[in-house]
Amino acid sequence: MLVGIGLMPHGNPVLEPPDGETRKLAEVLRRIGEEFKDVDSYVLISPHNARMSDHLGVVMAEHLVSWLGFEGKELPGKWETDVELAKKIYRAEKEAGMPVVDLNFASLKGQYSRWPLSWGELIPLQFLERKPLVLMTPTRGVSRETLIKFGEVLGEVVEGEEKRVALIVSADHGHAHDPNGPYGHRKESEEYDRLVMELIKENRLDELPSVPEELVRNALVDSYWQMLIMLGAMRKAEFKLKSSAYACPTYFGMAGALWVRKN
């Protein structure tokens, strides 16, 4: 059963908040961790792991190992894959005709079946109790309809489980908020981030598919595609927003949101 969803950023500032807004955001992330402390597994969708142009990925490696931090921030640790759930998700997506691949490295199973974790996974995981997880990767090279359908299939699989599962969506938003940042300043970053927060707070996530492509592209985001997957999964049960916050202490915007199941 899908018990809830956490939209979580992966920027270093949430680990050591430099200002009040970021502290509020970090508090939302702690609430997500508290809400999901009793789940059996997570499904974690991250944009900073395997990058494929036109396929989504489901990681089958048994052991997930910290490998790549961001801006010098190292977050060591090791997590285990819920291999049984990963296989169910992969098979269901494949049978539904989704462009999905299974990912492993070195060995199909055992101690050498290992997969690296980046800041895209490690930062959200700092706020969560250590549980088995299924790591999945989005792609920007398929249609919006495909991403939503992928999420719907994911939701169906999780809903059929006796396990209590939380969906974690790792996402940062516009990356051009600071004229002195690596991407300069673009008004679209502010526009996109403002729109996303409106859709979250006003329960209008069904409008995500209609966000203009030009806005998504010019805002320089790495959140849109996995949020479409999230939208598909959310259609398989009823959820209510319990908490949300936004902060932009550096050149990229970060949002946190917690949805819990209504019934």
> In this predicted structure, what is the pLDDT of residue 198?
98
Rounded to an integer, what distance in angstroms lies between the CA atom of residue 127 and that of residue 17? Answer: 14
- On the question of pLDDT at 80 being above 80, the answer is yes
> In this predicted structure, what is the pLDDT of residue 178?
96
Structural domains in the chain (count): 1
pLDDT tens-place string over residues 3-15: 999 999 999 999 9
- On the question of pLDDT at 147 being above 90, the answer is yes
> In this predicted structure, what is the pLDDT of residue 72?
86
Rounded to an integer, what distance in angstroms lies between the CA atom of residue 147 and that of residue 169? Answer: 14
> In this predicted structure, what is the pLDDT of residue 263?
74
Lowest mean pLDDT among 31-40, 65-74, 94-103, 138-147: 65-74
In the sheet that holds 100-103, the strands lie side by side as: 100-103, 56-59, 133-137, 41-45, 165-170, 2-8, 254-261, 239-247
Rounded to an integer, what distance in angstroms lies between the CA atom of residue 140 and that of residue 54? Answer: 7
Residues with Cβ within 8 Å of 202's Cβ and at least 6 positions away in sequence, in order, are none
pTM check: above 0.85: yes
Lowest mean pLDDT among 63-77, 133-147, 221-235: 63-77
pLDDT tens-place string over residues 102-118: 999 999 999 999 999 99
Rounded to an integer, what distance in angstroms lies between the CA atom of residue 85 and that of residue 43? Answer: 9
pLDDT cut 90: percent of the chain above it:
97
The identity of residue 235, as a single letter, is R
Identify the domain containing residue 60 by its residue range.
2-261
Rounded to an integer, what distance in angstroms lies between the CA atom of residue 230 and that of residue 71? Answer: 28
> In this predicted structure, what is the pLDDT of residue 172?
97
The values of phi and psi at residue 240, to 5°, are: -125, 145
pLDDT tens-place string over residues 191-233: 999 999 999 999 999 999 999 999 999 999 999 999 999 999 9
pLDDT cut 70: percent of the chain above it:
100
Mean pLDDT calculated for residue range 44-73: 96
In this structure, what CATH number is given to the domain that contains residue 206? 3.40.830.10
Indicate the average pLDDT of the chain. Answer: 97
Helices 144-159 + 224-234 axis angle, to 10: 40
Buried b / exposed e across 134-159, counting CB within 10 Å, b at 16+?
bbbbbbeebebebbbbbbbbbbbbbe
